[in-house]
Amino acid sequence: MRTIRIAVAGTGYVGLVTAAVLAHVGHDVVGVDVDEERVRTLNSGGCPIFEPGLPELLEESRENLSFTLDYREACADADVVFIAVPTPERVDGSANLKYVFASVEQVAEAMGPSCVVVVKSTVPIGTGDRVQRHFESLLAGTGREVEVVANPEFLSQGTAVQDMLHASRVIIGVESERAREIMARVYADLPSPLLFMERRSAEMVKYASNNFLALKIAYINEIANLCDLLGADIDDVARGMGADPRIGDKFLRAGIGYGGSCFPKDTKALHWLSSFHDREIKTVKAAIEVNAVQKISLIKRAHRYHSDFEGLTVAVLGLAFKPGTDDLREAPSLDNVAILLDAGADVRVWDPYAMDNFKRFYPDEVTYCASIPEALADADMCLILTEWPDVLSLDPAVFVEQMRHPLVLDGRNCYALDEMARHALVYESIGRRTVGTAR
């Protein structure tokens, strides 16, 4: 079988992982991006983002993987072009497709006689049809032709490489047998099942899946908040619920809400789309509202102990929206630190990977610490916002030894209550009883 020549437009999280994995299985892949520094980094053997396993995969695939700023170099001989550019949310929550259509115009100008264009970016239902029509308009009278495919991504930061190498399923929306055959060849050497369907259905699968998972998170957090009031333990409740195979135990971990590049954006986009068509999905609207409040729920708890934060030293452990990534998009740390600073607190932060990114928002306003003990030194309060392994394995005695007033507010339920109760501290988590006493 002839190696497929693939171009990937956009080398962010999705595009770069897609390019690396498809090169890894033997295709000839060229990534194209408008970011000169990023392309230079990639061609010199570097990796511009933190993603476990990705630097190694890029290194292994260097013989058949390259990067360029030139769409013509990438697309002129390509059989398949993946579009993996950002689709940021607009102020009203709808998806901004300007980068998608800018990429479409670049591909139309640079491509050869024919190719399959795969929309990998997360886009509203019907975008594939719009892209197909736009290509037909741009290519009219040239004799060149394009078939547009919807192939939404389901990659999680921190596990993106494995998510693509061993996906639970690959969703592919096609409108012709030729496109179906080519996409089957693209994924032939990956073990994941291929689920073919029409384009619009494939686009809906992405939104429906992410919104459903966001609903589970919002729901378990609502139950956790009720457990706080009624004296139940959310860990036991989630364990009992998850044992039911109809429910399952995934995404039932209570905490301070979801963040990242997918769930916040995709819930808002589906809410906007359904409202635009006068079919508002009320459960999605509720999930958005619940999550917005949940992200700052530790601040509300903190006010039980301090009427105001003026002059307090507050340690913040974890800045990334989840462990395994340096991504700060929609991270609870941004909301919580903003409130603390505005209230006059002295904020000390620690994160193993995300501090450089955080400096883009707060270059001088917070103290950046090289270790957890340094962040905790003489602190009046500690907020745990990301469950990094270093946090999970921390001896609770460190809180008592380092903090001036050991008040620990845990937004990720990192520690066993019985263990925390052995120490002279106050420990509050989400949906579980408060334990310990202040020293």
C-alpha 311/C-alpha 226 separation (Å) is 32
Measure CA 188 to chain center. Answer: 27
Q: How far is CA 212 from CA 20, 51, 157, 195, 281, in A?
A: 29, 25, 18, 19, 12
C-alpha 426/C-alpha 439 separation (Å) is 9
Contact 331, 321 (CB under 8 A): yes
At residue 413, the 3 state secondary structure works out as: coil
Q: How far is CA 174 from CA 97, 168, 206, 210, 367, in A?
A: 20, 19, 15, 21, 52
Contact 229, 205 (CB under 8 A): no
Catalytic residue of the set 75, 227, 262, 369: 262
- Bridge partners of 225? none
Contact 234, 412 (CB under 8 A): no
CA atoms within 13 A on the CB side of 182: 25
Q: To 5 degrees, how large is the angle CA 93–CA 18–CA 287? A: 30
C-alpha 124/C-alpha 5 separation (Å) is 28
Other Cβ atoms closer than 10 A to 422: 12
C-alpha 431/C-alpha 416 separation (Å) is 13
Q: How far is CA 267 from CA 11, 99, 286, 401, in A?
A: 24, 20, 10, 42
Contact 405, 411 (CB under 8 A): no
Catalytic residue at 262? yes
Contact 155, 14 (CB under 8 A): yes
CA torsion 226-328-318-285 (nearest 10°) is 0
Catalytic residues: 262
